[in-house]
Structure formats: structure tokens, C-alpha cells
Chains A and B, each alone.
Chain A
């Protein structure tokens, strides 16, 4: 057996032993995960109480990268900023591109750059709201990091959650991401202005969303043309 091959086998044995060691701390890992989720839920409930006490409505928007979360928020803030004082908390790995876009529509913004983290959590939101003068706002939107998976692990303490998908992601996108739709109040299927060209089966998408969560409201929109944005605003029940 060559020296190189012997070294490779030795390395594999080392890796196997590391994995065995990891199995020993499995209980600790599971307990820690449970505690993190429990703490997040408690903090989320506390945030919701605080906002309700002050009469502030709060809505969390999640969805994949490029689904149209920011574009929808631009349309919503444009229409609502005359009536409500709006704060938008934008989550992104880096940059404040989204916050800059939304700020143009008369909403105050706070950008959170999560670095390595794939979703916002209740601690992030708590850090923002406890350092803001909440008397200045009637309505808070939280735009989560573009992701259809991780946000389902973390409640943020908002009144409602909207999950945005677009027809460019394909008609299986809802079927493949049940968790978020189970915990959302509104599902938005965006970019319907492209329907004729793409031929995506929207009926299947609606059926999937309602199948996972019979209480979910499904709204098809085009943030580009503004189609059904009013219907979405009505569904927010502000």
C-alpha cells in the first residue's frame, strides 16, 4: 500500500472518531437547540405584548431571494404612509439596498445585516424596538432575510406573517416549503404580470398553500403593475 493511501486511510479513521465524539454531545446539542427555540418564542411573545399594548400593528414578510418582498413593501408603504407612521425593519446578509428603496416611500427604516445568519430572530427585533421611540410609529413591517427555510424556526412577535413567492420560482415552490405556509396568515403569489409568458400553474400553487394551511389567505399580485396590492392591504386588517 502506498504511503499516500495509508495517510488517506488514517485521515478517514480520524474523521470517524471525531464523529463518534460528536455523537456523545448529541444530547447537549439537542437540549441547546430546544432552549434557543423556547427563548426565542418567549421573547417573541413579549415583543407582541409590548407592541399590542402601544396599539402598534406588526407584520413580518418572508420569502425567497428575488420573490418581490421589497417591491411589495414599496407599494404598500407608498399607499399607507399617508395614513400611518411606518417603521420597516429590513433583514439582509449585508448592504442596505432594501432599506434605501423603502425609505423613498416615506417610511423610516432600520437595516439589520445578519452576516452569517440566514434569518432574523426575536432578539434582533427586540434590540431594535427597545431602542426606538415607539410613540413615533403605528405600524411596523419586518422584511426578513431572503430565505424560505430558516425563518420558519424563528417567530418574531409580529401580529401577522406574509410569505411571498413568485411564479418565476416554479409551481412547486409552495409544495416544497410547507413549514412557512403552515405558520403564515397570508400567502402572496407575486409577478403574475409574467403569467402569460411563463405559463406557471397558479391553481396548483393556491391549492398547495390552502392544503397546508386552510386558514391562509392567498393573494396573487404584481408588485410591478400594482395589481391586487389593495386586496393585500385589505387582508392585513389594519
Chain B
């Protein structure tokens, strides 16, 4: 799993105009092949809803009324705010997902802070630090 995550991290840190197909394939392959079983016993926070498989790395903070899964990996020290929904996605370490953000089929890079609220995002790579919805659209890399 670690090896595959590193590979994905490398690709999203050097995004090129023609990386779409490669990212789609990497995400699909990771979720299907490397994320078969859940690991949800070590998070900090309230009582979210999990649809397996969901894999939480250490020190993940989860807010109130959150729905995670199916097919979700969340990296170390990442914080998920209230009312968030995530499916078919990889969230790397030290990220922050703002309140009522909905992610499907997304990759969120290491140290990415989505410090905004109420937004639905599909089929995207997001890397950066944003505070508004407009900023999200600015850093968004659509791969589908």
C-alpha cells in the first residue's frame, strides 16, 4: 500500500496536461487492489458512518455527522470537519477537509488545506491551500 501511495504522490506532485488517464488508472487500481479491508479503529472524534472499505491512518480527526466510504483512504494527521462526505478517494497526510465538503473520486495531496465549506467535488486532484470555493476551482485538476 505504502509503495503504491508513494507512486501516486509522485505523479500528483508533477501534474502534466496529459496525466489524466494515468491518474484515473492509478486511483482505480489503488482502490480496487490495495484497499480491500477496512481499518477504522484508531480515529479521534465522534461517531461517523463508515461504508467499508475505509482505511484510516494514525491520528485522523473526524467531526460530527461525517460519511466515509466506500473506498476511502485517509492519511496521517488529516482532519475531516463536520458533515463531510467522502467516497472513492485518497486523502494524503496532514490534509484538512472543510465543513460540508463532498468528495467523490478525488485525490487530495499531502498538506492540502481545503479551508472552505459547502462544495461538491468529483474526479479531481487538489493540491494546495485554499480558503474559498473560487480558490478550489483555481487549483482543481480535473482528470475525468
Interface residues of A (CB under 8 A from B): 93-94, 96, 110-117, 124, 127-128, 131
**Set B47, B49, B70: member contacting A128, Cβ < 8 A:** B70
Hey, which bits of chain B sit against chain A, CB under 8 A?
38, 40, 46-52, 65, 67, 69-71, 87-88
Chain B proximity of A131: nearest CB distance (Å): 5
CA distance A111 to B53 in the complex (A): 8
Contact pick for B38, options A96, A115, A116, A124, CB 8 Å: A96
The 4 closest A-B pairs by CB, nearest first: A115-B47, A113-B50, A116-B47, A115-B49
A127 vs B87: C-alpha distance when bound (angstroms): 8
CB <8 Å contact, A115 and B51: no
5 new A-B contacts, CB < 8 A, other than A93-B47, A112-B49, A131-B87, are A111-B50, A112-B50, A113-B40, A115-B50, A127-B51
Which chain B positions have C-beta within 8 A of A112?
49-52
B47 to chain A, nearest CB (A): 3
Cross-chain contact B71 with A124 (CB below 8 angstroms): no
Q: Determine the main DSSP class of B at the interface with A.
A: loop
Docked Cα-Cα span, A127 to B85, in Å, equals 11
Contact A128 to B38, CB < 8 A, known contacts A110-B70, A115-B46: no
**Could you list 16 examples of A-B contacts with CB < 8 Å?**
A96-B52, A110-B52, A112-B50, A113-B52, A115-B46, A116-B46, A116-B47, A117-B49, A124-B49, A127-B67, A127-B69, A127-B70, A127-B87, A128-B70, A131-B70, A131-B71
Contact B51 A124 (CB under 8 A): yes
Residues on A with C-beta less than 8 A from B65 are 116
| Nearest-neighbor residue (CB-CB) of B32 within chain A | A133
How distant is B40 from chain A, measured CB to nearest CB, in Å? 7
Complex CA gap A1/B82 in Å reads 44
Bound-state Cα–Cα, A93 to B48, Å? 10
By a CB distance below 8 angstroms, the chain B residues around A116 are: 46-47, 65
Cβ-closest chain B residue relative to A110:
B52
How far is the CB of B102 from the nearest CB of chain A, in Å? 12
Expressed in whole angstroms, the Cα–Cα distance for A93 and B47 within the complex equals 9
Q: Verify B52–A111 contact, CB threshold 8 A.
A: yes
Set of chain B residues within 8 Å of A117, measured between Cβ atoms: 49
**How close is A199's CB to chain B, nearest CB, in angstroms?**
40
* B49/A114 in contact, CB under 8 A: yes
CA distance A112 to B68 in the complex (A): 10
